[in-house]
Structure 1
Amino acid sequence: MATPHISAEPGDFAPAVLLPGDPKRAERIAKLLMPDARLISDVRGALAFTGTVDGQPLSVMGSGMGMPSATLYATELYKFYGVERIIRVGTCGGIARKVQVGDVVIALGAHTDSNMNQQRLPGLNYSAVASYDLVRAAVDAVEGDQRVHVGMITSHDHFYFSSHDETWLPLLDQYGVLGVEMESAGIYGAAAEFGKQALTVLTCSDHLLDASHNMSAEQRETSFQGALRLAVAAAHS
């Protein structure tokens, strides 16, 4: 039963799906984790794979950039393919000064400047939060001296911030917001709508208040293994 945006058949997706934004990153994750991975959908270049990790089924799919795209795929995965858990694996820009480039951020919840979740419950300031069981599993998987932060992030509609940045960024830092990305608030909202689970695990690739150690484009694609390990632990919890 294909949807307008996914060509997979019923049963092709595992109960847990890793959801990076970049379809090519989805392909790299599949090759890295699952030697038996098979391509199950490639509509509009949103590559999706299913295989096994340590004998347990797992899927990975690219969501595209931004909440409209990520929420579209999350909705179809939850509603039509029986997916129970979506774990976004991606990058973020650091905001809190305690977060360093290369650190991992586990997102308890996602503030947002988007109107997407307000459309779900008009007149309510909806709180988009992760599933506790997945947060706990990811935290429990942290090893040794791995630098991991657990807390709030913010999901923005605009990648290139507007003129209010000079006001917003210090306030977000003051209020303990760890970083910024573009998808999690929408994914968390979709999970709540369908009674499913969701989590976001991010690698800080650059810092908005201190750009001196920002990652190169190549480093962004090769420095996510720490976050990926925690995401897999959550997926199989």
Structure 2
Amino acid sequence: MTVHIGAKPGQIAETVLLPGDPKRAEWAAHSFLEGVELVNDVRGMLGYTGTWNGHRVTIHGSGMGMSSLSIYANELIRDYGAKTLVRIGSCGAMQAHVALRDVVIAMTASSISTPSSAILREVNFAPCADWGLLHAAVTAAKARGVNPHVGGIYSSDTFYDERPDLTEQMTRHGTLAVEMEAAELYTLAARHGARALAILTVSDHLQTGEALDSTARESSFGDMVEIALMAAFPE
């Protein structure tokens, strides 16, 4: 048990899927896992452990933003022995060829700052995904008939961004999408010798203003969860 996670020793699997929304963790666990057990509900941040094709998996909410994710990822890795962490979440498309409901697999994650910036100080660290997970995720996606977008994303530390100039430059430099957690997840995984990947579903588009409603988001996220599980446990 830690400050933010009430699970007992052994209740957290080595492979953890991290949606931001705890209710999405609940939905994913009951939709894709067998023998589901609630292992954490501290502060309403739900975590569940079960099995997928015989493999133990934990699906645990991480909250919104890099500061929140940093708390849970640190504790999951350091105190519970998590070795593979896959973020499954939503993102906003930044390129015209990326459409609503498309799957984005983040090779790298740019940011202005992260909770780890104080440690790295003047170094512009380049957070990147684990290659084995990334390759397995692309393979899994194509096996499901999904053609994912693979490349760099932007992890913003603000939701209500008032920097249209920054959005323009990120788009100009080929950034596929924006979200709020992956850069810190990749940095923490590098620091602690874990594997990390972000698999995202496009829920809105910064160029067109299109957006999925809450019902459409839930029904569109199934591919992302399946790809994450298949990447973590390739045949």
TM class, shorter-chain normalised?
over 0.9
Written as runs of structure 1 = structure 2, the 5 A alignment for 1:54-203 is 54-142=53-141, 143=143, 145-162=145-162, 164-165=163-164, 167-203=165-201
SS in 1 for 2:5: coil
CA distance in 1, matches of 2:110, 2:10: 34
Kept in 2, the 8 Å contact 1:17–1:235? The answer is no
Can you list the C-alpha shifts for 1:133-187, whole angstroms capped at 9, x where unaligned? 110110110236423100000001110111x21x222321221100000011111
Kept in 2, the 8 Å contact 1:13–1:81? The answer is yes
For residue 9 of structure 1, report the CA deviation from its aligned partner: 1.2
CA distance in 1, matches of 2:167, 2:221: 25
| Residues 115 and 30 (structure 1), Cα distance of their counterparts in 2 relative to 1, 3 Å cut | closer
SS in 1 for 2:116: helix
Residue 215 of structure 2 corresponds to residue 218 of structure 1? yes
RMSD: 1.2
Segments of structure 2 that go 5 or more residues without pairing to the other structure are none
CA distance in 2, matches of 1:30, 1:131: 24
- Segments of 4+ moved more than 6 angstroms: none
Kept in 2, the 8 Å contact 1:156–1:182? The answer is yes
Letter in 2 for 1:46: M
1:17 — aligned with what? 16
Kept in 1, the 8 Å contact 2:127–2:187? The answer is yes
Residue 227 of structure 2 corresponds to residue 230 of structure 1? yes
Kept in 2, the 8 Å contact 1:105–1:148? The answer is yes
CA distance in 2, matches of 1:68, 1:12: 24
Segments of structure 1 that go 5 or more residues without pairing to the other structure are none
Q: TM-score, normalised by structure 2?
A: 0.96
| Residues 123 and 232 (structure 1), Cα distance of their counterparts in 2 relative to 1, 3 Å cut | same
Kept in 1, the 8 Å contact 2:38–2:49? The answer is yes
Q: TM-score, normalised by structure 1?
A: 0.95
Letter in 2 for 1:169: T
SS in 1 for 2:9: coil
